[in-house]
Amino acid sequence: MVSGAISNFHSEQRNDPLVRELRRVREQNAQRYKEDYSHVFRNKSRWDFIRLSFVIMGIEFVYSAETAFVTPILLGIGVEHQLMTLVWAISPMIGFFLAPILGTYSDRCKAKMGRRRPILLGLSVTMVLGCILVPFGENVGRWFGDLGEIFPEAASNASEVLNSNLTAFMPYDFYRVENEIIDHEMDFKWAIFFTILGTLLLDFSADTSQTPARAYLLDICLPEDHGRACSTFSIMAGIGGSLGYALGGFNWDNTVFGDFLGGSIKTVFTLVAVIFVVGLVLTVTSFREIPLPLMEKDELLRPLTESIIKKERAKLDDKIYYIKDVSRAFALQLHTIDEKAQPPAPLMISNALAAEAEKGHQLEACSSSDSDSEDESEKAMSLKDFLKSIFMMPKSIAILCFTNLLCWMGHLSFCLYFTDFVGEEVFGGNPAAPSSSESYQLYLEGVRYGCFGLAIYSLACSCYSFTIEKLIKILRARIVYCGGLMIDAVGMIMMAMFPNKVTVFVFSASGGIVYALLFTMPFLLLGQYHAKGQFKAHKSLVSDKPERKRGLATDIAVVGGMIFVAQIIVSLGIGSLIEALGTTSAVIYTAGVCSFLAALSSTQVVYMDL
């Protein structure tokens, strides 16, 4: 089999006596502290991976509600397609610059809780706030004076108030005016503001919180467990998405929850917010992080990387050769002692041992110098160093970023506008029609049907994530990555060409393959790059000061931050594309083309020994 020929560094570590000894020493050292940190140096079980991944399941519950209902909500309160797509661009513009900064701060955070969990908790607060503002923005708007939906028989009584409320927004042409709904007037000035604000908070937090969640997972797990950890992470994400979309597909209007909370959409957002909080608590209480100040004081608490293993192996080899040299010199002196011509034997032996000891001290000094150089590279980076780490990244990460960008462009084109595509193109509904009209009810039915399609896509993500590690061992990572993207490209093109209820269900599964790859491949490769010391610090050509070693969370943020760039590009262009083609099928065609380009780019990614 192909897998038998693959040389995997992490699998070899399990049986390496030196690695086992280094890990044992670190585990015993970690047990000496008041808070036991020895779990960081132990292999994790599948249940441990699940506990660490509960938070991503909660995030995906929230993300499913966002992608399924934010577009219909914005269109339903009168926002045009072109403006609605621009709303999706605001959050990634902020996140593109802020997310890497948060990632770098996470690498240097000195909080007692650790480096990742404080960032994760802070983003969780804004995410929950967004879950409240998005569905209840209309209610908040009424508190500030919005009149809401105005039916023709009541329009004459409210025209004066409506005109005064709309004055500030007239230049932006928020409100759709079509012949079939010419008498349908809406006053959602403040509702639009609060809903967009909630969308920004929710979208930014849901995307950005994945970086500390992944970094926390990789920090707690050993490098040899990163493959299983990432696959479990993707499985839990798929389960969360599947159940979240299924919640959205159910009509909650006639239930107790729906009556109490004021409708189906509000019920869904409330439920996913509660589920997210539960998942967050389960994850952040699963394992303690080692605080950065402790790692700076005690090098035995630092991650056991390949560079450290190589250094220890070199030290061990030097000591072995040192002992051999001393023995050889001792034997030589014994054979050449001449009591008359030479000094006494004990003195000669002593001199030989002293000379060899001096060599040993020089080796230790050299090793100490290397260690000091590494410590120097670990100091906090300046803004200049930070920008350099982003814009002057290694070629391997640059290619990975570009591939991830194309993947996210295809995926976001599909998931952000999919329910709108089904509601308008497949069911023939109109989101801007009066809420009591048949056209609007058809649109809502299509949105709910689209939720079940997205549930299938998330289920496919979980199934593919469950097998992706085995597929990589059998087929190798290049084939898995490129092949999965090609399957998605074909599926998206077929769905766009034949939009009906059957293709919505069948080809939605191909989108799940891409999502599984987005959650697994880039971060598995990054874990390999860093574990193998791919980005260790080197001496600068212009100064004696070593360059700073690249941080794992920083690189995760940079690669993961491609979601923001992709969302900016898609959001700025997709609205005009829909208007030009006159159909929402444009979003599905875009997804197919981007996946095809990503498949071509993935052939150039550096896969190490995967």
**The pLDDT of residue 539 is above 60:** no
Average the pLDDT over each of 17-26, 254-263, 532-541 and give the range with the smallest value: 532-541
Q: How far apart are CA 339 and CA 158, in angstroms?
A: 121
Place of tokens 């262009």: 573
* Calpha distance 263→177 (Å, rounded): 26
| Residue 132, both tokens | 């409240």
3-state secondary structure 535-568: CCCCECCCCCCECCCCCHHHHHHHHHCHHHHHHH
More confident residue, 165 or 115: 115
1-7+40-152+182-303: CATH class: mainly alpha
Query: What is each CA distance from 169 to 165, 166, 176, 192, 323, in whole angstroms?
Result: 8, 5, 13, 11, 84
Q: Which of 607, 6, 21, 527 is nearest to 309 (CA)?
A: 21
What is the per-residue pLDDT for 189? 82
pLDDT bin (cut points 50, 70, 90) of residue 155 is very low
Q: For position 161, what pLDDT does the model report?
A: 47
Contact status, residue 116 vs residue 219, Cβ threshold 8 Å: yes
- More confident of the two residues 430 and 595: 595
Query: What phi and psi values does residue 294 have, to the nearest 5 degrees?
Result: -70, -40
* Contact yes or no for 151/437 (Cβ under 8 A): no
- Look at residue 350 in the predicted model and tell me its pLDDT: 47
pLDDT band (50, 70, 90) for residue 185? low
pLDDT of 442 above 60: yes
Sign, CA torsion 551/552/558/561: negative
Query: Residue 571 — very low, low, confident or very high, per pLDDT cuts 50/70/90?
Result: confident
Q: Which residues pair with 149 in a beta bridge?
A: 186
Q: Percent of the chain at pLDDT above 90?
A: 13
Q: Which fold has domain 395-534+553-609?
A: Growth Hormone; Chain: A; (1.20.1250)
Indicate the pLDDT class of residue 357, thresholds 50, 70 and 90.
very low
**Does residue 585 have a pLDDT over 90?**
no
Which whole number is the average pLDDT over 549-566? Answer: 73
d(CA 221, CA 287): 10
Local structure of residue 45 (DSSP, 8 states) = P
